[in-house]
Structure 1
Amino acid sequence: MIPLHKNLKGRVAVVTGGSGVLCSEMAKELSRHGINIAIIGRNLEKAQSVAEEINQSGGVAISVEADVLNRSSLEKAKEFIVDQFGKVNILINGAGGNHTDAITDTETYSLDISRKSFFDLTEEGFTKVFNTNFLGAFLASQVFGPELIKSEAPTIVNISSMSAYAPMTKVPAYSAAKAAINNLTMWMAVYFAPVGLRVNAIAPGFFLTTQNRGLLIDKNGEYTERSRKILRGTPMRRFGKPKDLLGTILWLVDEEYSGFVTGVTVPVDGGFLAFSGV
């Protein structure tokens, strides 16, 4: 078990997408270190489930229904959170995901017109995926930023992806959005450095989540060819587990450990990014 970061006790973390597989585990771990947690999600029932689990474990958490693409709902969420906790020290921009309308059927172009190609992707689907993964982080940062700046040791952690560095096949909107997240992370880090707001990102390698399970596990519960490609390209030869992210998130939010770190995206990927394939 990770040793407690006692200086984090009493701080407040807002986690968008906090009911997801990865961010819910981050929220639970932050709570174990004494951080009060606000789980933001479009599905209030799912957000409540995570908050209740934290509370039952002895932590302090609330759930808030909000859409990261709706500034008004984010503003209402901020007012509620500040009313409950009085401040915000940490923002984790974890809301994201993909959609079938922004995914091609094949990795490269095929003359088979029965397969969904780049030309069949809808503007609505592409825009929704890009906005959820990028614009949502931008809007949440704008809304919660003023509260962060007023608080002790403020920090933003964005969630990137391996696809930010070299785009994964089939998912152009998601890949473009995550590349934009890396760029925004650096831009914001420079912009807010004079007022002490640190901005960093985590780029998880390949983890089995609700969003990507259909691409990685077939109907028989076996690895797909895409999964086998990923594992061949991952020197540690396994998918990540949510607990693999916890040390990194704690390092980034604790200024005693990373107080001079801002503008970086940290890969947590089992060596995927470092491996050339030969």
Structure 2
Amino acid sequence: MDGEDRSFRTVMPARWRRDLDIVEAEAALLVGRLLWDSAGRRDPVAAEELFDRAARRAAQAGDSVLQASAVLRAAFLGLYGGDPRAGIRRCVQAAFIAAPVSHALFALARLHAAEGHAMLGHVGECERALAAARGAMALIDADDPASGACPARTYRRLAGAAQLALGRYAEARVELGAAAAAHEPGRVLALLCGQLTLACLGEGDVDAALRYLWSAIELVELTGSLGALAVASRATRELVAVSSGAARGGALQAVDRLLAVSAAG
């Protein structure tokens, strides 16, 4: 912001300044999300700058819920962009901001921290983060300004992802299956089906893995979800590597379909 903008903001009534800060924060948050998605989740720099700007504006406006949401969105850049340690740091920051104002946002931040710890193989830290999330969820009430941010299905989805990352395939399959049953067809269900494919492969259930994989590919084709496409691609590679006989034929057909979906995208 240049000097002229700062001078203009200084003479504005306080309520107008706060409203402008919130509008700027919400706009930066939206554009950051669009940039991250359009870059195929591979170039976090521009998105991170926007999320940081959103967090600063929200803090200036005194909106802790919006600030925590922006910081948590920045955490996703690390968690799903190859830097889980940075993601965990952001999750801790988001949880600290959310703690006085929203049990739901605090729980969501701790759940994502658990996922990050699982990616790094930190079993104890993951379990403590999951326990903290469960405790906070029990305290969510109608007065929570972000009461819908962390429903039970979100807990099961992220707890399942954490168990999958830790190689606890049976536990992951239970949690992810329950989460999938609670979601309508869309991007989230596409991701869950890909994760369920991996969980079934971990258990050695190739037939179930192939069924989930086909569902994942069909949903990726419908939704264009890049995150789900990445998981489905990994699951396809692993399925081809372990399958034989009729299952291998199905796996190779899935490869062809996935390549077609990727080319169309």
- TM superposition score normalised by structure 1: 0.29
- Structure showing the higher strand proportion among its residues: 1
- Structure showing the higher helix proportion among its residues: 2
Q: Which has the higher contact order (CA 8 A, sep 6+)?
A: 1
